[in-house]
Amino acid sequence: MSYFPASLVSMTTETNEKKPLHGRVCLVAGATRGAGRGIAVQLGAAGATVYVTGRTTREKVSEVGRATETIEETAELVTAAGGEGIAVPTDHLEQDQVRALIDRIDRERGRLDVLVNDTWGGEHLLVFGKKTWENDLDGGLRMLELGIRTHVITSHTALPLLIRNPGGLVVELTDGTTEYNGTRFRENLFYDLAKNAPLRMAFGLGKEVEEYGATAVALTPGWLRSEQMLAAFGVTEENWRDAVEKIPGFAVAESPAYVGRAVAALAADPDVHRWNGQSLSSGGLAKEYGFTDTDGSRPDAWGFMFADEKGDPDVNDYR
């Protein structure tokens, strides 16, 4: 099944040279699973060369503790989709490893067109229902390292290569839009900080890269049907709707391919700079670019959550 945006799907059956991102070099930092994997595969479907990084390989499992998804598998999916996937084991907290990664991309390709900062892996540390001083401090600080420090190290190291050629795109992945997060507490201070920082990073980086003809944005999926989320609900991608009976709001959940389509659409847009510094969502971009999720729907999870705070919305109006 093709996960490429519906508006451009016909191009995926053309020769590689006719695909919209043919010749483009992308780095998806944190592409082991979830949104990162979905984004990498969609960039590949558009014909891009995609370097995929993460800490879980077929030989080593990260602290997340999931051996079922690896960066090698993600790279293979990228290639199978029509691009070229290259797996590079990288801990984005280790500056030397990130520097070696960017040096390799420069040496092998001589350019970087798209940087996607999707490093995270802090779900196992997240505890709700406790005050800041009641939470484990080491766990909270680790979330800040995983969700903020990794992004800063990667952008600091990769941007000199990205701005070498005009038209570069930086995508800071997070959870929540500026509109939503700006007026709501995400119920855990460490998580709140980790997911607000990429929004501010996109704004600041947009100011810094603008003179080089580059664009920086923040992007959030909605309620993501990641491998971890599906496992937590005891369902699979094939029968995910079985979880809706227990959690009605899950009806607006989206596959990782949906946010992947959003990034592919942004990367292929010659007028992408109009979004510079802004906070975007997969559901909002679906309306703009005309792509759909894998089932043909256009879920708008953030629109649903706004409406849910005010009343009892019909979930079908947001899918």
Edge-to-edge strand list for the sheet holding 25-29: 84-89, 49-54, 25-29, 114-117, 169-173, 215-220, 279-281
Parallel/antiparallel/unpaired status of strands 49-54 and 215-220: unpaired
Residue pair 4/42 in contact (Cβ under 8 Å)? The answer is: yes
CA–CA distance, 106 with 9 (Å, rounded to integer): 30
CA–CA distance, 22 with 11 (Å, rounded to integer): 11
- Phi then psi for 54, rounded to 5 degrees? 170, 180
Q: Would you tell me how many other CB atoms lie within 10 Å of the CB of residue 50?
A: 31
Put residue 187 in one of left, alpha, beta given phi > 0 → left and psi -120 to 50 → alpha. left
Residue pair 237/210 in contact (Cβ under 8 Å)? The answer is: no
CA–CA distance, 236 with 189 (Å, rounded to integer): 31
Catalytic residue among 3, 51, 191, 258: 191
Element (H, E) at 54: strand 49-54
**Residue among 38, 27, 5, 163 nearest 84 (CA):** 27
Q: Rounded to whole angstroms, what are the CA distances from 281 to 162, 240, 244, 293?
A: 23, 22, 22, 13
Tell me the torsion sign for CA atoms 112, 117, 118, 124: positive
Lookup result for tokens 């507490």: 185
Catalytic site includes residue 212: no
Residue pair 19/12 in contact (Cβ under 8 Å)? The answer is: yes
Instruction: Give the SS3 label for residue 163.
Output: coil
Catalytic residues: 191
